[in-house]
A and B are shown apart, each in its own frame.
Chain A
Amino acid sequence: KNEVEQSPQNLTAQEGEFITINCSYSVGISALHWLQQHPGGGIVSLFMLSSGKKKHGRLIATINIQEKHSSLHITASHPRDSAVYICAVTGNQFYFGTGTSLTVIP
């Protein structure tokens, strides 16, 4: 049983499209994290949130604690956004989703 489920697993978009990646979790949490992993590269933390909404440039993360659900939105997508996006939650430990692989085509 996965404590964190992401959808979709794979996503291909045309440059400029609005993108949404979803994350659902089944455990009690203190915070939810969105991470970005580029091909062959390391992992970078994009957001940490425990309520509401956060925005950084073209990226927006929202969380609904009651529904145990979070979304990561990318506006005006660009090929450089191509990466794997990982949702993780912290309760008494970290739980990670399997990631959403995003490819943005020029």
Chain B
Amino acid sequence: NAGVTQTPKFRVLKTGQSMTLLCAQDMNHEYMYWYRQDPGMGLRLIHYSVGEGTTAKGEVPDGYNVSRLKKQNFLLGLESAAPSQTSVYFCASGQGVVNQPQHFGDGTRLSIL
């Protein structure tokens, strides 16, 4: 079982470049999430999806876009990368919010110069 797979694992971008992070889960989960983790701060929710074709904003959505065209995939896009978006990005999936654990990917370390 692969669980939650994130690609790529590492990436360095220049300011203004664009890129897409891919998250894939094989557990048939309805809910998927994108978080960023920064030193001294807890995980912060960027965007989430409660099912195929749906997306919603989280706590820190500015500068990011997402798409959930297929149930198993959740894409996070940076249209014009900024140094403030340097972070470790985690994808997670779960059956729901209430009383359901989340399953996390291994993270993507993104540096923007």
Q: Are A93 and B97 in contact (CB under 8 A)?
A: yes
CA distance A45 to B58 in the complex (A): 21
**Closest residue to B43 on the A side, CB-wise?**
A96
Residues of the A chain whose Cβ atoms lie less than 8 Å from the Cβ of B104: 35, 42-45
CA distance A17 to B105 in the complex (A): 31
CA distance A35 to B102 in the complex (A): 10
Contacts between the two chains (Cβ within 8 Å), count: 53
Question: Closest Cβ of chain B: how far from A51's Cβ, in Å?
Answer: 11
CA distance A5 to B23 in the complex (A): 29
Residues of the A chain whose Cβ atoms lie less than 8 Å from the Cβ of B105: 42
Residues of the A chain whose Cβ atoms lie less than 8 Å from the Cβ of B106: 41-42
- Which residues of A line the B interface, CB within 8 A? 2, 4, 30-31, 33, 35, 41-45, 48, 50, 86, 88, 90, 92-99
**Other than the known A48-B100, A94-B45, what 4 A-B pairs have Cβ atoms closer than 8 Å?**
A33-B102, A35-B104, A90-B97, A95-B42
- Which residues of B line the A interface, CB within 8 A? 33, 40-45, 58, 90, 92, 97-107
**Pairs A-B, 9 closest by C-beta atoms:** A96-B42, A42-B106, A43-B104, A96-B43, A45-B101, A30-B98, A98-B42, A31-B99, A48-B101
